[in-house]
Amino acid sequence: MTSTLKGITLKGSAELVAEFFSFGINSILYQRGIYPPETFSRVTHYDMSLQLSTDPKLKNYLTNVVSQLKEWLFECTVQKLVLVITCLETNEVLERWQFDIECDKSAKENSTPREKSIKTIQDEIRSVIRQITATVTFLPLLETPCAFDLLVYTDKDLAVPEKWEESGPQIIDQSEEVRLRSFTTSIHKVNSMVAYKRTDSV
Amino acid sequence: MDLEDDTTVLTTLKSFNSFISHNEPPQRLSEHSVGSGNLQSQYKRSMELLEAAERLHSKNRYLQLDQEKKQMELSHKRARFELEKAASDSARDLEHEFGRNQDLIGQIKKLEERETGAAKNLTEQTEANRALRKNLESLNKKLEERDMRLNTSNQHISSLRDEIRELKQKIQNQDSTISTQTLENQELQEQLDLQRRKYQEVSQLCQSLQAAQSSCSEHIIKIKELERRLALQEQDIAIVKTVKAEVAKVPDLEKELKRLREDNAFLRESRENCSLLKEEVEGLRRKLERMAKTKEELVNMELEKERFAEKLKAWENLGQSTGLNIRKPEDLSREVIQIQQREFALKEQNYTLNSRVRSVERSQSELRAELTQQRGKTLEEQKKRETQDALVRRLQKRVLLLTKERDGMRAILESYDSELAPTEYSPQLSKRLREAEDVLQKTQNHNAEMEAQLSKAQEETGALKLQLQTVELELESLKKQQASAADSSSLVTKEEVNILRQKIEDLETERQRLEEQNNILEMRLERHNLQGDYDPVKTRVLHLKMNPTTVAKQQRQQEVEALREEVTHLRELLRSVQDGTALAHSQDDSSMHTSGLGLSLPPSKEVLDLRKQMESSELRNQRLKEVFQRKIQEFRTVCYVLTGYQIDITTENQYRLTSVYSEHMDDSLLFKKGASGSMQLMETEFSKTLGEMVALHLHHQKSIPAFLSAVTLDLFSRQTTV
């Protein structure tokens, strides 16, 4: 943990949130079966056991995205991170995991660390990841082979880095939305929600 | 005594009973004769009877008790007697016991004496025992020592013997082992020889096995190749079957096509009819609508007509009602014009009057203003006059004061002059004079200032009073205006209040509506936000170019394309195979094969090889058949030549023999093979002529070759002779 024991700085908060995203995305990919479960290995983090992928291409992709996301979190220019699951046969979007990020911009000017214990943040993150695991019970089965994509909603005036391009929001038509728990590091607040395609319309 | 008591009881009871019975009849007799007088006597009698009964009863009791007492006494006596008996018995026993006791005591004494003697003996003997024991012990010890020595020596001897035995056994064992080992050695040598022979054999077998295995592997390889080719052929067959199935469906499809075309033509005709009908229907509908409209218009027109008729009547009546000379509408119009003209005139008058009124009002107001001004002015002048009067009075007072002062001063001066004449006090007097003059001047100045202040104050108060009065006048005028306008404006204010209230209510309802709209919009916004909507002006959506979805889609596309290519390729193969098989059925030319399949792709070479193999195997089969046939022919001819019989198989298990020397073509012998394998001759025309030989050779000798040879000889003899 890079954040000091005394408090949370902007950089530390950005790292915490980026770390949560990397573990959360791995959990979602494992739970929804996007990649075969034998390609995942068990690790312990946030005082619970999580699944982390060992596929090198996937790991490379995730590290690229998460590192860029960390920069944007530090600059407070990112608004949402969305994990989109599309069916390969019909090219339809079946699920959308959306994480809204609210950044307290006053932390940019004021560099004093904020009082929030890492343990409470970890507890909150743990409850969010547990809830993500529990959502599998009511989400419809993904029977066809699927692929995922990560979209980032940023401010309009941001410079688009190399290797990134603009894309559409990839919204599901006739979706059901469920709001999940949120956690806050006192500088960044992350709200999670999941939207899935209604099965009776399929 | 008891009996006597009982008898006395019984006798008394009897006497009592007899007394009672005796008393009763006289009582009964006496009842009828005497009335109440006898009752008392009866009563007395009954009482006497009762007393008697009681007495008897008590007597009885007494007797009973006596009896009991006597009985008790008896029992007491008996008990005493018995006790006395028991006491005497016990005394006797006691005496006996006593005697015995004494005897026993004497015995005891004797025994005690014996005991003492025995004890003495015992002690002596114990002492002797001890001495003996000591001796014994010493002897025992000696014995033990000897025993031990003996034991040790024995043990030694036994151990030595054991050793000897063991050694002997060892020697024996070793001898035996040596012998067994020599035997084993021999056996092993023999086995070795055997094994060597076996090894040689096995090595030979191995070599043969290896040769066989190599040939086997070659065969296996060939088998696998053939299997692969078989599988491919089967796939081709499957494809052919599916194509055939599809082809089989074609006639059905054609039939359906025909049917559909007929339906189509029919439907087109019907459609045209339909369209015509629809147009007619539309035209009719429009007509209907127009008719309905015209109907309505008719109805309206009729209503209007009625109304107009009424109006006309009213108008016509007007003329009668108003009393004017109206019969035509022209008269009405004229009247109306006249009225209008009158109206105009009146309006003009009205306007002029209004203007006059207004001008009058204006002048009135102006005059009022002037009035107020004049009043103010008059008040001012009054004030001025008053101030002037006050000034005048003050001046008069001053004048009086001055005159008084002058007089005083004159008096003083005269006095001083009168006083000065005798003496010269001029410097002091002049000083005093100057001081007095100074004081005078100061007081005069002071006075003048005070008077000036006073006058200012008075002017100010006068001005204030003027203002007050003007203001009061204005207030009065305003109040009058208000009073006049109060009535008219009250209604206006009420109307304004109502209007304002309505405006407030409208605004409130609009506010609520807007609030609800706001809530709905907020909910929609929230929902859109959940779904992932964003404001394109402020946000942008980014993702990596090389993301897993695009990669997966590309892979999928590549797979799809590869699959499509494979499918087209397979279809071409199929076609070529079908062409190839068709050609193979029609011609066997290998050149055609190569030309026909030269366009096809490499895998068809396998098919070619298979075909070549097939042809070669067929050729081989044919050749084998020819060879077999030739050989059979040769063998048959040789048999015919050598044995003289041509053997034909007519049906299963039936053999027909025709001889070389047979006279007719049909002369033949039929033999049938029975179930057990023995040959039996069947009846033929020719065999009937050979009955003798059949009987001789077959029935007697039971030899078919002899019979056959006899037949040939017979026929040969017949031929040569004939």
Note the pLDDT tens digit of each residue in B53-107: 999 999 999 999 999 999 999 999 999 999 999 999 999 999 999 999 999 999 9
- pLDDT for the residue A40: 94
Q: Measure the CA–CA gap between B50 and B54, rounded to whole angstroms.
A: 6
Q: Can you say how many angstroms the Cα of residue B334 is from the centroid of all Cα atoms in its chain?
A: 95
Which residue of A78, A103, A156 is the best one to mutate when testing the B interface, meaning the one whose CB has the most B CBs within 10 A? A156
Chain B residue with CA closest to A155: the answer is: B539
Asked if the model's pLDDT at residue B592 lies above 80, the reply is no
Q: How far is A148 from chain B (nearest CA, A)?
A: 5
Distance from CA of B534 to the nearest CA of A (A): 8
Q: Is the pLDDT of residue A1 over 50?
A: no
Indicate if the pLDDT at residue B35 is higher than 70.
no
pLDDT of residue B653: 83
Asked if residue B711 is part of any domain, the answer here is: yes
Whole-model pTM? 0.37
Helix (H), strand (E) at residue B624: helix B604-643
In this predicted structure, the answer to whether residue B598 has a pLDDT above a threshold of 50 is no
Is B261 a member of any domain? no
* CATH number of B665's domain: 3.30.457.60
Question: Using 50, 70 and 90 to split pLDDT, how confident is the model at A2?
Answer: very low
**Closest C-alpha to A97, from A199, A197, A198, A195:** A195
**pLDDT tens digits, one per residue of B174-198:** 999 999 999 999 999 999 999 999 9
Q: What is the pLDDT of residues B559-579, one digit of tens each?
A: 999 999 999 999 999 999 888
Phi, psi of B285 (to 5 degrees): -60, -45
3-state secondary structure B302-354: HHHHHHHHHHHHHHHHHHHHHCCCCCCHHHHHHHHHHHHHHHHHHHHHHHHHH
Q: How many CB atoms lie within 10 A of CB B667?
A: 19
**pLDDT at residue B164 tops 60:** yes
Tell whether B660 is covered by a domain: yes
User: How confident is residue B539, by pLDDT bands cut at 50, 70 and 90?
Assistant: confident
Residues B209-249 pLDDT 10s:
999 999 999 999 999 999 999 999 999 999 999 999 999 99
CA nearest to B530 within chain A = A177
Sheet holding A93-103, edge to edge: A164-166, B539-544, A146-155, A78-87, A93-103, A188-197, A175-184
Q: A with B: how many residue pairs have Cβ under 8 Å apart?
A: 103
Per-residue pLDDT tens digits for B707-717? 888 888 988 88
The chain B residue lying nearest A77, using CA atoms, is B539
**Full domain range(s) for residue B674:** 636-720
| pLDDT at residue B516 in the model | 96
Q: What percent of chain B has pLDDT over 70?
A: 92
* pLDDT tens digits along B452-467: 999 999 899 889 989 9
Q: Closest approach of chain A CAs to the CA of B531, in angstroms?
A: 6
Angle of the A56-75 helix axis to the B548-586 helix axis, nearest 10: 150
Check A156 against B532: CB less than 8 A apart.
no
Specify the number of domains making up chain B.
Answer: 1
Of B96-110, B291-305, B413-427, B490-504, which range is least confident? B413-427
Average pLDDT estimate for B282-311: 96
Closest chain A residue to the Cα of B535, Cα to Cα: A156
B179 found inside a domain: no
- Quick one: pLDDT band at residue A202, thresholds 50, 70, 90? very low
**Maximum Cα interatomic distance, chain B, rounded to a whole number of Å:** 261
pLDDT at residue A5, rounded to an integer: 59
Residue of A102, A150, A157, A172 for testing the chain B interface, max B β-carbons within 10 Å: A150
- pLDDT tens sequence across B129-147: 999 999 999 999 999 999 9
What domains can be seen in chain A, in order of their start residue? Answer: 10-197 (3.30.900.10)
Instruction: Give the integer Cα–Cα distance in Å for B362 and B458.
Output: 38
Contacts of B533 in chain A (CB under 8 A): 169, 171
**B353 pLDDT more than 50:** yes
pLDDT at B266 over 90: yes
Residues B530, A195: C-beta atoms closer than 8 Å: yes
Degrees to nearest 5, angle at CA B650 with B646 and B653: 100
Candidate from A86, A88, A152 with C-beta closest to B542 = A152
Residue B332 is predicted with a pLDDT of 76
Q: Per-residue pLDDT averaged across B344-372, rounded?
A: 95
pLDDT over threshold 50, residue A3? no
